Amino acid sequence: MCGICGIVDFNRKKIFSYQIKKMINVIKHRGPDDEGVFIDDNVGLGHTRLSIIDLSPTGHQPMFDRSGRFCIIHNGEIYNYLELKQELSTKYMFVTRTDTEVILYAYHEWGVECLDHFNGMFAFAIYDIKTRTLFLARDRFGIKPLYYYYNKETFIFASEIKSILQIVPEEKLINDRVIFDYLVYNRTDQYPETFFKNIKRLEHGHYAIIKDNNISFHRWYNLPEYINNPFQSPEELRDILIDSIRLRLRSDVPVGVCLSGGLDSSSITSILTSVLQKNDLQTFSAVYGKGKTGDESDYIDLYQKTVLKMHKISPNAQTLYNDIPSFIECHGEPVPSTSPYAQFKVMELAKEKVRVLLDGQGADELLAGYHYFFGNYFCELLLHGHLLKLLRESYLYYQNHRSLFAFQSLIFYLLPNSIKSKAKLMGRNYLRKDFYEQKRNNTQLVNTLFDARSLRQSLLYHFEYKLEHLLKWEDRNSMWFSLESRVPFLDYRLVEKILSLPPDEIIANGLTKFILRKAMKGILPEQIRLRKEKIGFMTPESEWFRTPLFQQFILELLNSDSFRQSPYFNYKACIKLYNLHLQRKINISHDIWKWINLGLWLNSMSG
């Protein structure tokens, strides 16, 4: 795992090393072990390395093939690199043990179609010195980031936006549409746009070619095209999950696990200890005190006898208050809740113990882990006339969860999109009227995220539009502490087969992740395998924001000149709503956090 960056000047002006080094310096946390720069007249490439596989100097990047024609900078891991290396070794001579060299010769052999051969997470650039062509590519689901800026004079790319801003600081132009989606829909990263008007993401499953001052973008992976080959049994899922975890253990440095106590991270932990017999495992968890919101201690502690070392950290109001500046700097763009902060603290806990962490990210989007997926499923049953099944599943859902949320979701999904937009705007009276009126009729996001009338369609929408921001937070949190995070549930073999399943293999008997529960029988502790509630990476933020520490901090922010003059907030409405939150008449902790995060981020952009 590393950081990459580069510049192409379309006017053929020479790029200088100091420009690339400026870009590297602000992402040095991504790779503190080594750095390198390559300049070819008007093209400059930079790399900062976190050594994971082949710790020797031969892994230095930018890396060249034996002919000296091709140069690569790479962020990520190709987990099946040993198998590909064996396949390619009949034709090419390898001089390192790195997966990066395998990418280089795979590109030699297959061109852009090399991407189809990779099982991994990656964002890389390959420069052809002979043809002066730059090839940029990103993995199937967007696990590793890649941003770019271009105009008629230059093309700039990097692993993080802050690196690009070192070259074009004048491009700190705020994207109001993204801010509106963030405040109203709690969504970011569903489009190539970022919080900066002219800086975009290379979309997941895409590549770009820059040649002769022209830029072209191409989609190399489209998930719906591969949804045609479901698992034939839970055992088949289990076997591929085991193999996915086995591949992600390939490392020359220690590997640990983020253990939340949920079904996903516990499945990874159980496979490591029970199946793969990893007897030196270390786990890392966030806990809040038994009985408190978000605490999973009872489930985490089930591994006390099988895990070598269990490390826990307890994020609280004081730690969040202390960490806000570094957390905002780490992410570079606002995040819509404090859930990523819990992960931030887990990564901080792990940084001195391991260099690689396995994490359950992506399983909720893959296996319908959120309650609103029941609404999608119920909608599908209703529209297809499966009324008896709908009644049975509705009854079992209520028996298991004692919640009406799925039924509220069902009603919501059946509404016209215009009504959905109005429903999402309710309770957002803290927005300035002119900002609200300007953006309220933009229903593109509602049409994209909330229009699914079947479970599969909803899951596919999540992979296309929602998963990206979760993976971005995973990347930022881990890389800030120079850690590599690996996500076994996003092995493309698992994803394609699970999303090919009929819906009643994913939701059944009022429970989500049904096939995973069956697959993990005999491996996962029964208390976890059969648990009904879904907590996730929640924090007790509603209570944190009622503490005297945060009362003073929040009221000072809301009354500050910058907040009063903000083009986005009605500060008087914010103060009124916050006082209602303090009185426990409402719980708007997510909104409060967005005021804090966006307000402070905007201040940092104007500084």
Per-residue pLDDT tens digits for 4-55: 999 999 999 999 999 999 999 999 999 999 999 999 999 999 999 999 998 9
Is there a catalytic annotation at residue 2?
yes
- 152: exposed, middle or buried (Cβ count in 10 Å: 0-12, 13-18, 19+): exposed
Q: Does residue 129 carry a pLDDT above 60?
A: yes
| CATH code for the domain defined by 2-171+195-220 | 3.60.20.10
pLDDT at 534: 65
* Alpha-carbon distances, residue 301 vs 31, 262, 283, 343, 525 (angstroms): 33, 12, 11, 19, 11
Does residue 536 carry a pLDDT above 60? no
Residue 595 identity (one-letter amino acid): W
Residues of the chain with CATH 3.60.20.10: 2-171+195-220
Statement: residue 400 has pLDDT above 70: yes
Q: Residue 443: pLDDT band by 50, 70, 90 thresholds?
A: low
Quote the pLDDT of residue 512.
96
What is the rounded average pLDDT of the residues 248-267?
96
Q: What is the rounded CA–CA span in Å between residue 286 and residue 338?
A: 13
2, 114, 379, 574: which one is catalytic? 2
Over residues 179-202, the mean pLDDT reads 94
Q: Amino acid letter at 253?
A: V
289 band by pLDDT with thresholds 50, 70 and 90: confident
Of the candidate ranges 134-148, 442-456, 478-492, 540-554, the one whose mean pLDDT is the lowest: 442-456
Name which residue leads in pLDDT, 536 or 88.
Answer: 88
pLDDT score at 79: 98
Q: Which residues fall within 8 angstroms of residue 93, CB to CB, at 6 or more apart?
A: 66
> Looking at residues 432-450, what average pLDDT do you find?
77
pLDDT at 415 over 80: yes
| Percentage of residues of the chain with pLDDT beyond 90 | 88
Identify the helix (H) or strand (E) that includes residue 391.
helix 387-401
pLDDT at 535 over 60: no
| Residue carrying the six token digits 């499945």 | 267
Which of 236-240, 297-301, 404-408, 435-439 has the lowest average pLDDT?
435-439
Q: How high is the pLDDT of residue 440? A: 74
Does the pLDDT of residue 297 top 90, yes or no?
A: yes
User: Is the pLDDT assigned to residue 203 strictly greater than 80?
Assistant: yes
Whole-number Cα distances in Å, 351 to 106, 121, 229, 284, 480: 33, 21, 39, 10, 10
Please, which pLDDT band fits residue 537 given cuts at 50, 70 and 90? low
Q: Give ranges for CATH 3.40.50.620 in the chain.
A: 222-537
* β partners of residue 5: 46, 158
Cα 503-505-510 angle, rounded to 5 deg: 85
Q: What's residue 28's pLDDT? A: 98
Topology of domain 222-537 in CATH is: Rossmann fold (3.40.50)
Alpha-carbon gap, residue 140 to 138, rounded angstroms: 7
Note the pLDDT of residue 486.
99
| Mean predicted lDDT score pLDDT of the chain | 95
Average pLDDT over residues 561-567: 96
